[in-house]
Structure 1
């Protein structure tokens, strides 16, 4: 789950892990197991943002087996973005916010908070992993 989030931050938000002025510290995490996968399954991960605050982001990741109906697990975590030197919370960098807003699920009364791949606002980004 951490890898798909960090891959997205690097690819779509301009995060440079060793030189960025902010760092995302994981302050909570969870994972709910639904059903198992076995070698040599290929997994697909769907990423979305459930909450985007001033300095924090809550992600959700669905884990799917390629070609198999239904989710295998749902997990996620919350990052608090902090100054990389002093480790104090700081406002999300503009590039991060812009990239993460693409994945934000709307819960402001418009729609039901559910998204489909490719909708734009609330878009689910799929990441294909290597074989287990």
Structure 2
């Protein structure tokens, strides 16, 4: 069984950078796996905020995480810089699948790849999906990759 190709920066459309912290390292000397989820959660939130989709205090629709996955490809250690690249893997009626590459320093090959699915609900009543906000649909369309 062959392994999927390691993603590169060219596979993503929007990027944000963040530092690692001393406390991110585990006893094995590299960034702990749970920290990658913090990187991807932060990257998605920043994308939403910078595109005026998410206002932490007033947004009437919010995305709830319903599924995630991360594949670890190479270690990251403190004091590395992390760049998260985002693309849209699927844009549905009420859900969106973000696909992320986590890159170490200036490396072109990803150290990890992940996906993150949001289902949109009313902030006040979170028991039923609602259509994606128009601003999100517009911003996410720019993240779609051309068909292969």
Question: TM-score normalised by the shorter chain: which range applies?
Answer: 0.7 to 0.9
Distance 1:57 1:18 in 2: 22
Distance 1:44 1:93 in 2: 27
RMSD in angstroms over aligned alpha carbons?
A: 1.2
Distance 2:56 2:141 in 1: 20
- In the alignment, which of 61, 84, 102 is matched to residue 22 of structure 1? 61
Look up the match of 1:79: 118
Q: What does 1:88-107 align with in structure 2 at a 5 Å threshold?
A: 88-106=128-146
The alignment covers a number of residue pairs equal to 108
- Structure with the bigger percentage of helix: 2
The answer on whether the counterparts of 1:30 and 1:77 sit within 8 Å (CA) in structure 2 is yes
Return the offset for 1:76.
Answer: 1.5
Residues 54-63 or 67-76, more deviating? 67-76
Distance 2:95 2:44 in 1: 14
- Deviation string 1:69-118 (CA, Å, 9 cap, x unpaired) is 41100011100000111112101111111111110124xxxx41xxxxxx
Return the offset for 1:17.
Answer: 1.9
The answer on whether the counterparts of 1:13 and 1:100 sit within 8 Å (CA) in structure 2 is no
Distance 1:53 1:76 in 2: 15
- After the TM superposition, which segments of 4 or more aligned residues of structure 1 sit over 2 Å from their partners? none
TM-score by length of 1: 0.77
TM-score by length of 2: 0.69
The answer on whether the counterparts of 1:32 and 1:74 sit within 8 Å (CA) in structure 2 is yes
The answer on whether the counterparts of 2:66 and 2:118 sit within 8 Å (CA) in structure 1 is yes
Return the offset for 1:61.
Answer: 0.7
Q: Which residues of structure 1 form unaligned runs of 5+? A: 113-132
- Structure with the bigger percentage of strand: 1
